[in-house]
Structure 1
Amino acid sequence: MRDAAIECFAAEGFPASVRTIAARAGVSAGLIRHHFGSKEALRAECDVEVLARHRSLKAEGLAGPAAAMAQLAEADEHGALLVYILRSVQDGSPAGTAFVERMIADALAYSEAAVADGVLRPSLDPPGRARLLVTNAIGGLIVQLAMHPEIPLADFKTVLKTTLDEIALPSIELYTYGVFADSSYLDQYLLYIGDPPR
């Protein structure tokens, strides 16, 4: 039932009805209400599950290049998670805001673990970097999909394929080499603020 709810919320947004979710799960609406209590409680459980899956995927991807490439080969099954995350941001409710804040906290945790493992470079501001990476990724996804109105969000595979085709290579290149040719902009900014983050 929870997985069907994740897919329904991703496909239709959070106004998706309990009846729609029940039909997708092949159960009665009454059973969903009995098991979860309310649609809000069901959404809360879906949030927890989507965050856990996302955190696991990120941690696995940072285990090494081979693991990351294996994830790309199996990417089709993760399309609903991507669209669910997008719906959570677009929702604008306290639940959506809390969801994004938990994504940022997760990003800080797996990023710092990857720093300790030597996979990522240390940051002068680890919480700030985690927030930037998450908000840039989500914001970029919103803009990217807005430029492809012909793709229905319910078509999870096409959404994911379009996203990966357009951003995978430039993203990996950017994360690998950066953009600036030297540290002069960072050096000047650190002088400007006078008290960089510890």
Structure 2
Amino acid sequence: MRSTTLGRAADGDLTTRARIRDAAIEVFGERGFATGVRAIATAAGVSPGLVNHHFGSKDGLRAECDAYVLESIRAAKSESLRNPTPAGLLAALADIEGFAPVVAYVVRSLQTGGALAVSLFEQMVANAEQYLAEGVEAGTLRPSRDATARARYLATTGGGGLLLFLQLRADSGGRIDYRKALREYADQMMLPALEIHTEGLLTDSMMLDTLLDKPTPRPGQGD
């Protein structure tokens, strides 16, 4: 997937279903999930009836948007870990603003909360475990003592850090210029993130060794 195009073909040709989905991702991200089908139809240049024809309801449309956004993130992460190249990294950095609609959609979903937000996050964790495993298999990542826990940690800290970074850039009305904010995020965070992930932070393993050697309390024991 090209991040700048939300799945559009190179010549801009989209099926009606895909055009509605892409419009919905952008509209939901900008205005929230209370936005009605009519506004999405207007953005897509179709009738509200055609939206319902393709997706059954707004809930059906949101489910498809969730699935598409999740797969877009997973595919991009997987490619960067299975086949990392200098050209690929530089291209992703040059194109960082193109992720704005997807990031806005995820942020809006997590801020809205509820069962759908929980489901979205849990799928993000599952996807992270998958693409991290692909990185281990490809030899670009070190294996983990607990691959599931590592995936949840990275999804939580990465997502939480990005949410905080973006929220601090909201204007007085709560609006965020996602394209500008993502460029700032890449400029400020990429170097320290890669440094920590590549070279590590601690100079020895004392704290990790202490945690690994800590006895596990049996049921009924106190702290």
Same fold (TM over 0.5): yes
The 5 Å alignment of 1:1-198 reads 1-62=20-81, 63-66=83-86, 67-150=88-171, 152-153=175-176, 155-194=177-216
Number of residue-to-residue matches in the alignment: 194
Q: Say what the alpha-carbon RMSD is for the aligned residues.
A: 1.6
**Distance (Å, rounded) in 1 between the aligned partners of 2:211 and 2:85:** 33
State whether residues 61 and 71 of structure 1, in contact with CA within 8 Å, keep that contact through their aligned partners in structure 2.
no
Query: Which sits farther off after the overlay, 105-114 or 170-179?
Result: 170-179
TM-score by length of 2: 0.82
For the residues of structure 2 that align with 1:35 and 1:123, how far apart are their CA atoms? 43
TM-score (norm 1): 0.92
- Greater share of helix: 1
Aligned residues of 2:29 and 2:105 also touching (Cα < 8 A): yes
Which 5+ residue runs of structure 2 have no aligned equivalent?
1-19, 218-223
Which amino acid in structure 1 is aligned with residue 181 of structure 2? Answer: V
* Structure 1 unaligned residues grouped into runs of 5+: none
Mapped to 2, the partners of 1:87 and 1:122 lie a distance apart of 33
Using the TM superposition, name which of 47-56 and 25-34 deviates more: 25-34
Deviations 1:136-169 (A, max 9, x none): 111111211222223833x331131122122111
- Map Cα deviations across residues 28-79 of structure 1 (whole Å, 9 max, x no partner): 1121112111101000000010011101110122121422322112222211
- In the TM superposition, residue 120 of structure 1 has moved relative to its aligned partner by 0.7
Cα displacement (A) at 1:12: 1.3
Q: Aligned partner of 1:147: which letter?
A: L
The structure that has the greater radius of gyration is 2
Shift of 1:193: 4.2
Residues 60 and 68 of structure 1 are in contact (CA less than 8 Å); yes or no, is this contact kept in structure 2? no
Instruction: Summarize the Cα distance change of 1:33–1:137 in structure 2 as closer, same or farther, 3 Å threshold.
Output: same
Aligned sequence identity (%): 41
Residue type matched to 1:168 in 2? M
**Which residue identity is paired with 1:146?**
Q
Distance 1:166 1:30, change over 3 A: same
Shift of 1:13: 1.7
